[in-house]
Amino acid sequence: MNLSEFSKRIHPNLNGISSQGHFVGALFNAAGSKFFPIQPSYGTDDYQRKVFSGARKLNKKMKDSFPKPIDVENLKTFFQTRIGESSLPLIMSNFGIPKDEIQNQNLFVNALCTQFQNIVSEAANEVEDIVLAEYSRLLRESGIETVNLFPFYPGDNLQLISEHPAQNHVVTFYEEFDHQWIIKNTGTVTWIDRSFECTNQSKTRIRPKKTKIALPKTGPGDEACLDVRIDARHFEGTFEAIWEMKDKTGRLCFPDKSKALKLVAKVINTPDTAAEV
């Protein structure tokens, strides 16, 4: 993702700005940069149009013209007033967000601002395209997507057959321990390019050694095994790790089964008795 690509995904569907050069100037100013005039006079925006097209790269001097961090609140206002109800799904789709996804303008604008911050603050001209992932994260944290109480794919279903151990773990500081689930595809959809991800890793003190585990192709009626290893770390208390199935785009397959695969561990601080002798 670079500035030109970012701009091309937004500008054609933006309200009130028809000129590519005007868009670049307005975008820069909204984020706190005065490198370009906010509304150049006719015939004086050739430089801005080349930045839009990619013929001119976003150079260090341009990047240094932005405050650190950028003026996020003003940039949010810019996007919120320019992205209308009819253009929102089109622009979201340009960033890879499916048209049947929950549409929330405020969260999407926040994701755009995070992407723009990365573009103008990183040394490289190409940065990771994070809008889809950031929007999905914001949706999850807001609780908005919990209104979906059905599998994403019609006919899809899973059943937990067994887990080992069946009871909660009791572990000591820095201990590594294992947990296993056996699940069954009880629906009519073959699981292809699916994975399980620890979706509460930022909110729990215990840490999985791998936060994402690929799931083999699993047809209806077939079973699959999920093995995870967890680091107890050094925080005393009772913690849980929640694992949820996602497809290759990162979408939750079973928002209706958000805690179907959950392990609980009680972490205790056991003194080293050998050191006390």
Residues contacting residue 225 through CB under 8 Å, at least 6 positions apart = 180, 181, 182
Same domain, 43 and 132: yes
Identify the band that residue 277 occupies on the pLDDT scale cut at 50, 70 and 90.
very low
From CA 256, how far away is CA 172, in angstroms rounded? 33
**152 within a domain of the structure (yes/no):** no
Q: Tell me the residue range of the domain where 264 lies.
A: 158-274
**113 and 165 together in one domain:** no
177 vs 147 pLDDT, higher one: 177
- The pLDDT score that the predictor gives to residue 271 is 60
Q: What is the pLDDT of residue 75?
A: 97
pLDDT in tens, 98-144: 776 788 999 999 999 999 999 999 999 999 999 998 998 898 888 77
| Paired strand residues for 212 | 197
On whether both 140 and 9 belong to a single domain, the answer is: yes
Q: What is the CATH number of the domain that holds 197?
A: 2.60.40.10
Q: Position 156: which residue type?
A: D
pTM of the model: 0.56
**Is residue 137 a part of any domain in this protein?**
yes
Six token digits for residue 197:
């991800």
The DSSP H or E segment spanning 195 is: strand 194-198
Q: Let me know if 30 is exposed, middle or buried by CB neighbors in 10 A (0-12, 13-18, 19+).
A: buried
| Residue 10 shares a structural domain with residue 79 | yes
Looking at the structure, do residues 169 and 38 belong to the same domain, yes or no? no
Query: Does the pLDDT value for residue 272 go beyond 70?
Result: no
Same domain, 23 and 129: yes
Query: 63 lies in a domain?
Result: yes
Q: How confident is the model over 136-174, as pLDDT tens digits?
A: 889 888 877 545 567 889 899 999 999 999 999 999 999
Here the tokens at position 181 are: 């689930």
Number of domains observed in the structure of the chain: 2
The verdict on residue 153 lying in a domain is no
What confidence tens digit (pLDDT) does each residue in 199-248 have? 998 889 999 999 999 999 999 999 999 999 999 999 999 999 999 999 99
Q: Are residues 34 and 139 in the same domain?
A: yes
Domain boundary among 108, 124, 147: 147
Q: Looking at the predicted structure, is the pLDDT value of residue 33 above 90?
A: yes
- Whether residue 255 is found in the same domain as residue 221: yes
Residue 103 sits in the same domain as residue 238: no
Strand order of the sheet with strand 176-185?
Answer: 158-164, 176-185, 223-231, 207-208
